[in-house]
Structure 1
């Protein structure tokens, strides 16, 4: 019997769905057309850019640079330009700040006679690590050293937010706010019982190094003693350094801060749960003030702006736009190129926020082949990943050095495992004392599920022409010979890793093995062991690269080598920096969703990286799950 196609209800629902789709597309295109026409019309009429500042076409005297840090501090944007434009315009917490932009703005403000202070708003600030936090803190201290004031304010400060606030001359907290210092912790889920006992999945781990603990959660129910020992060693170093920096900034004693954290429940109970009062009593903050009280105070100290009914101020985006307009673009000067390697290292071409073996290599090659580029800085903020793309990038670094262009690595929050692999061949390696690095080791993980299939009455059987045929079929138990093959590959990869480190660092494999074996180190601990050359951030690395290239000060430009932003994306970014257009973008907030490029959470399971490479079932991984 033929299927009936005349169901009136079905036809009605299909018609409604098609109408909704047509309406969505129509609304989007009309909205987009309106935005673009408005933008270009405004440009034609010469509407000046502003950020809520009266007469923002030219910066006025006694202006405060307001750094509202709600968002994530990154080395390189991970979101698309249109997403960033709407996040900036709407104040979305998904907003991203590039460390380089903040450092540039603070350095420019220090020398700018029209900027009299920085107002630091810490609510919503987040950063995945401590090295970038220290670089930003150092920039703020340098600003203060120039004789200008920093005022910090927050409604609630966790310890990374408070670290920045503590660098200010004055720290103010909302009367109903809190400063929460709790120490460093790193806890993971362990799946052995669920996978092996409950589901019947057999997990086989192949590794070299008792400290290479990245895949332990799939074979254990709790951290191994070696993992606990190594993690506590570097985490204590970071925590003690954190307390020392806070104590120095606030003129406190480290012992008092330690006592405060250790006795936090008792101290909170003593002030009847008033966390703001506790912060004030402990001298973590200078006073408790509401936002209105802080705003009034700043208006009295600086200059009152009639148009905004507040103190005279300019935001980060508007200030950066003015600095870009005021500065000369590249004028044939020599360049120190910077290539950012941020995120997991994987194969092929990847978008910013992930290190692609092909895409990152292409950027390094572009810098090497540019006659204006005299030196290269590789900024690494990566926990590692696959071995092959790591080796691809390392080779490009070696070729750049062979071409006569010095290479300096600047390590960010983490440059471990594969992140160290791509770093080791540089002429000089710079790291922050709180950088997480090392983890020189390799592992492989194989899962098979014959017991899981047996639970539902399914069995695997067949025949092959050789003993190896079908050995990597997940429905079959792993043959011991195949397991030995995988371990041999992992052993070879480890020997290759420590051999290359030894060659790059002027050592021998046996000595490198004693500080490798998958063990993680802080930047300070790594320097003591010869894995890092100098302490410093990306600015220090740039200066070192210029010096190695024998470039005189002020004779070169710093140029970030990155994929080009399209014209349409640039239009949206420019609009997001303009207060007049920002309101318009807020009106059209749903547009990105209609466009299909909505902001998505980059939430991944701890095993997602295993699915990123097809082909050979045998894959060596140089990865460190060691971020904070």
Structure 2
């Protein structure tokens, strides 16, 4: 082979140097721009809070236990569709501080841009709202249209103000999902499923065209628990007779047809709204209630995130010699290192290990909000939880909206498990599933053949039929993994295997029912779990540390940039997509669901402890 001439090599070297300088200059210019933006925002002194102002609970986007990292470039994009996320602990902390603040005479909820908050998160926020009301200050909810999650939160208000053209959109809870058996048959794709636990329904969408009767019965049971809790809370808050919400939903069509079709008046007549007011009327009413207006004539209010930020930078931090570490496990479980919002087996185990090696940490609270996922990832986490206990640290689990299958796997051995009545948990079972496409390829005239050194060599290829020996091995592996899962639950919960079998088999439970059958110890939120951990550790004065994955200096810089490039700073909208994009997303949702499910199948042995219907309920 010939070599380039010296002249050619010389000019190539010059060109490479120019290219390197161009890329380096662009990177330096970009970093300089970020630095200028950062310090411009950082040096700007915060405006003082008004002398009198309502706390504005203007939740938008999604209420979560852990935020997903946001690239600041996404925030700067002209067509940005970055979903806004709100930490539930920020909401409760802001309300608790405002309850003790004489400059805050009232709390106003404006929830029109709240996309979703789980019933479990609302129950945790409710404790702070009750404390605010106990301070003698009113809570008002005002909105154009209340969705079901929005209204649950609004029901804790002393008054609910609805726009005359609005409504209260309550419909109940449901689990509906796509089933692909006919599609897979048409495209000649075979999905092979092995499971431990007769109710483990993860693979039903791949094997059926509908939900099985058994799965319908089991799913309806925990959905009824959630609906019973929802209706009970709303009817109790609004002082309505039992059954009012069911009558509101089931009789709406008949009432509106018999009347004039005014949904706002119907909601008011059913006791769900106190006043029907236009935006101008509502603003005047709130301005009189608060006793102050801003320069634009609007009632004076401070958004809760801004209020909390001011209180944090002006208040003295609580320091104590003893610490309780709170570690969040939110999202699908995947092996290895994963970003926040996804449970990485290694990532979470390292956080637990960091807490173990911190001399100040006296107990760990593991906040779980996950439908499970990779069995291997769950085992890595469980082993680290066990190591922390062996090191003398009490471990208490606080279950959020969902702690099912793999979420329960990592919780089972904790010293105590706390759940909310509406937590979805259980789903104790194991499954393996993977597709083969040999028939699809044959239809296109593609055939697979060859030789291997053993009968199992090449058995995991997607273009070959499932090897019977491999199928037998997989089922044996599933049976063993399920036996391990059952054993972990039995040992952790002090149950016999027979008792575990009675509540396992992949069955899903609400938090309230899980307590009745012994899968959890007590009902309560994160604060209750933290108090329980302190009691187990024998400490009274302690500081709560929320541990997150360690970031490199550059990652920390970019994350701080993303936080500072807020809607107020740049005038950008990050709470939703354009109508055209949203329409396309809705149309593509079934395909997006398939893509997400396939992306989650990353266990090295193809073994999964995951609850699919848990994540599908509305």
TM-score band w.r.t. shorter chain:
0.7 to 0.9
2:547 maps to which residue? Answer: 561
Change (3 A) 1:304 1:503: same
Distance 2:518 2:311 in 1: 40
Shift in Å, 1:79: 3.3
Cα displacement string for residues 540-585 of structure 1 (whole angstroms, at most 9, x for unaligned residues)? 1111111111111xx11111011346453354356346xxxx5552
Distance 1:85 1:194 in 2: 39
1:11 maps to which residue? Answer: none
2:39 maps to which residue? Answer: 40
1:405 maps to which residue? Answer: 393
Where does 1:204-603 land on structure 2 (aligned, <5 Å)? 204-329=192-317, 331=319, 333-552=321-540, 555-564=541-550, 566-569=555-558, 571-572=560-561, 575-576=564-565, 584-586=569-571
Distance 2:184 2:572 in 1: 48
Cα displacement string for residues 172-225 of structure 1 (whole angstroms, at most 9, x for unaligned residues)? 1111111011111110111111102x1111222111222111110101111111
Distance 1:384 1:149 in 2: 41
Change (3 A) 1:615 1:293: closer
Indicate the SS of the match to 2:284: helix
CA contact (8 A) 1:93 1:124 kept: no
Distance 2:427 2:595 in 1: 18
Give yes or no for the alignment of 1:624 onto 2:611: yes
Cα displacement string for residues 88-143 of structure 1 (whole angstroms, at most 9, x for unaligned residues)? x9997721100010011111111112111111011121336321122123322232
Note the aligned Cα RMSD (angstroms): 2.8
Among candidates 50, 54, 57, match of residue 67 of structure 1:
57
Distance 1:490 1:429 in 2: 26
1:14 maps to which residue? Answer: none
Q: Compare 268-277 and 602-611 and name the one that shifted more.
A: 602-611
1:137 maps to which residue? Answer: 126
CA contact (8 A) 1:347 1:386 kept: yes
CA contact (8 A) 1:202 1:448 kept: yes
Give yes or no for the alignment of 1:156 onto 2:145: yes
Structure 1 gap ranges (5+): 1-21, 590-599
Cα displacement string for residues 424-463 of structure 1 (whole angstroms, at most 9, x for unaligned residues)? 1111100000000000001111211222122112222222
Structure 2 gap ranges (5+): 1-21, 575-584
Cα displacement string for residues 488-515 of structure 1 (whole angstroms, at most 9, x for unaligned residues)? 1111100000011000001122210111
Shift in Å, 1:42: 6.7
CA contact (8 A) 2:129 2:156 kept: yes
TM-score (norm 1): 0.86
1:95 maps to which residue? Answer: 84
Distance 1:29 1:274 in 2: 60
Q: Compare 291-300 and 565-574 and name the one that shifted more.
A: 565-574
Cα displacement string for residues 43-75 of structure 1 (whole angstroms, at most 9, x for unaligned residues)? 55xx4313xxxx42xx52x32010111211011
Shift in Å, 1:607: 5.8
Give yes or no for the alignment of 1:76 onto 2:66: yes
Change (3 A) 1:471 1:35: closer
Change (3 A) 1:550 1:262: same
Distance 1:134 1:169 in 2: 17
Cα displacement string for residues 292-347 of structure 1 (whole angstroms, at most 9, x for unaligned residues)? 22111121122323434322221122111122113333645311110000000001
Change (3 A) 1:467 1:123: same
CA contact (8 A) 2:347 2:549 kept: no
Distance 1:126 1:588 in 2: 14
1:115 maps to which residue? Answer: 104
CA contact (8 A) 1:86 1:586 kept: no
Shift in Å, 1:259: 1.6
